[in-house]
Structure 1
Amino acid sequence: MSHQSTAYRPRHVVVLAHPEPGGFNGLVADAYCEAVRACGQEAIVRDLYTMGFNPALKASERPGKSGFALSQDVIAEVDTIRSSDVFVAVYPIWFGMPPAMMVGYIQRVLGAGVTARQVQDRNADTIMRGKRLVVISTSGNSKAWLTHEHQIQSLRSIMGEYLVHAFGFKNFDDLHFGETVEGLDQLFVDQLLADVDRRARSICAAVSADRPSGAAD
């Protein structure tokens, strides 16, 4: 019996944290996934609000504590993202911070079993090690105003550079859209989504270049 090798398809896991179905953040996630699939790669969406994900970290989920054990919902998410090549976070900036839903996902899922000492020593054997991190954020205020208030750089440090060091991501890519309020002109929306499409295709090309030609899964 002959065995044919199956071509490896890089996987992007897109984690969406916005409570409004069909809102701009959802359109961003959809546009990213469509571009990824058009490039022949796989995209999986984890819509945290639709899923009813619980962002509250439990005492039993803190490593190093007596009775440490991951909850079943965390185990399910870990299994989903373990085989991914790219982790994409899509969320709005509220009062200078990501939604609690996104923060909780990072703490409970990305940080599953990771201790503070491992983060400091940068030697945690996490499920994110070697993967690419992509952050796409939105805000009602302008990017210029957020930059003046030091919010853009602060979030880039926390949601980008820190996560790379803490969880061993390969690198970090980010995209921010300001003034994304209700009643946006459709032409403006289309332009922003075209930016998402271009960035997603660029990331797909980089992911393909990461993997040697003909490499098996």
Structure 2
Amino acid sequence: MASNDPGAAPLHVVILCHPDDNSFNASVARAYCDAVEKHGHRAILRDLYAMNFNPVLRREERPGPAFRRFPDVTDELAILADAVAFVLVYPIWFGTPPAMMKGYVERVLASAATAQDVQAAAAKGVLTGKVMISFTSSAAREVWLNLQGQVNGLRSCFDHYIKHAFALRMVRHVHYDEIVDGVDAGFVRQYLSDVRMEAGKVIRELADASARAAAG
């Protein structure tokens, strides 16, 4: 639930979308949570598969006179309300995020947003003014994905679109390639160390932004 305590530690919400809770993606999500908590921040992990999240946007959830927000979305928005940073963790499947992650964006993060709001960068919601970082993985090598235009395309159509549509302050995307069964454990340790370093960067950027705001 949202905290009303102005002295509460900054909150990071990590949204994980992978069917295997022993996956590399799950390890990334846990590493990020552990890192921010060691820095004195709070972290909440939302495992969409473990939650059995329903990604299907219902007719009533589209903006309009009959708009209705369903209880699962209301509950999720209450959890997200105080977040200063959003972290998306997912694999790239066939060039795009998994359907469940896309559904989370449509039903929760974009709840009640109209096309006009999106075009005007006026879709105010839980993301507005916040930081978002995405950690993605692929079995294919990144050089091959780049030849297909997939990673840059994903950053353009997903990350930067979301930043503009919902007035995020900053987005960043970190991708790990050749994540397959039997991947070298040394590489995994290095990747998870990178995740912890990225968490530290986010925390420093949040602190810098707070200092600038306080200075007027």
TM-score by length of 2: 0.93
Correspondences of 1:1-217 after superposition (within 5 Å): 7-64=7-64, 66-212=65-211
Asked whether the equivalents of residues 36 and 204 of structure 1 are also in contact (C-alpha less than 8 Å), the reply is: yes
Aligned residue type for 1:68: F
Residue range with higher mean Cα deviation, 5-14 or 174-183: 5-14
Shift, 1:6, TM fit: 6.6
Superimposed CA distance per residue, residues 48-71 of structure 1 (whole angstroms, 9 cap, x where no aligned partner): 00000000001000111x321100
Aligned residue type for 2:26: G
4+ residue segments displaced more than 6 Å: none
- Structure 1 residues not aligned, in runs of 5+: none
Distance 1:21 1:133 in 2: 22
Shift, 1:8, TM fit: 3.9
Aligned residue type for 1:29: A
Superimposed CA distance per residue, residues 20-51 of structure 1 (whole angstroms, 9 cap, x where no aligned partner): 11110000001111111111101100000000
Shift, 1:212, TM fit: 3.6
Aligned residue type for 1:169: L
Distance 1:81 1:209 in 2: 22
Shift, 1:135, TM fit: 0.7
Asked whether the equivalents of residues 10 and 208 of structure 1 are also in contact (C-alpha less than 8 Å), the reply is: no
Q: 1:60 to 1:188 in 2, by over 3 A?
A: same
Q: CA RMSD in A?
A: 1.4
Distance 1:40 1:68 in 2: 39
Aligned residue type for 1:40: G
Aligned residue type for 2:53: F
Distance 1:56 1:123 in 2: 24
Distance 1:205 1:123 in 2: 27
Distance 1:132 1:57 in 2: 25
Q: Give the total of aligned pairs.
A: 209
Distance 1:151 1:70 in 2: 33
TM-score by length of 1: 0.93
Shift, 1:193, TM fit: 0.5
The share of aligned pairs that are identical, in percent, is 41
Residue range with higher mean Cα deviation, 87-96 or 203-212: 203-212
Superimposed CA distance per residue, residues 54-109 of structure 1 (whole angstroms, 9 cap, x where no aligned partner): 00001000111x32110000001111111100011000000111000000000000
Shift, 1:190, TM fit: 0.2
Superimposed CA distance per residue, residues 100-139 of structure 1 (whole angstroms, 9 cap, x where no aligned partner): 0000000000110100010011112222100001111000
**More relative contact order, 1 or 2 (CA 8 Å, 6+ apart):** 1
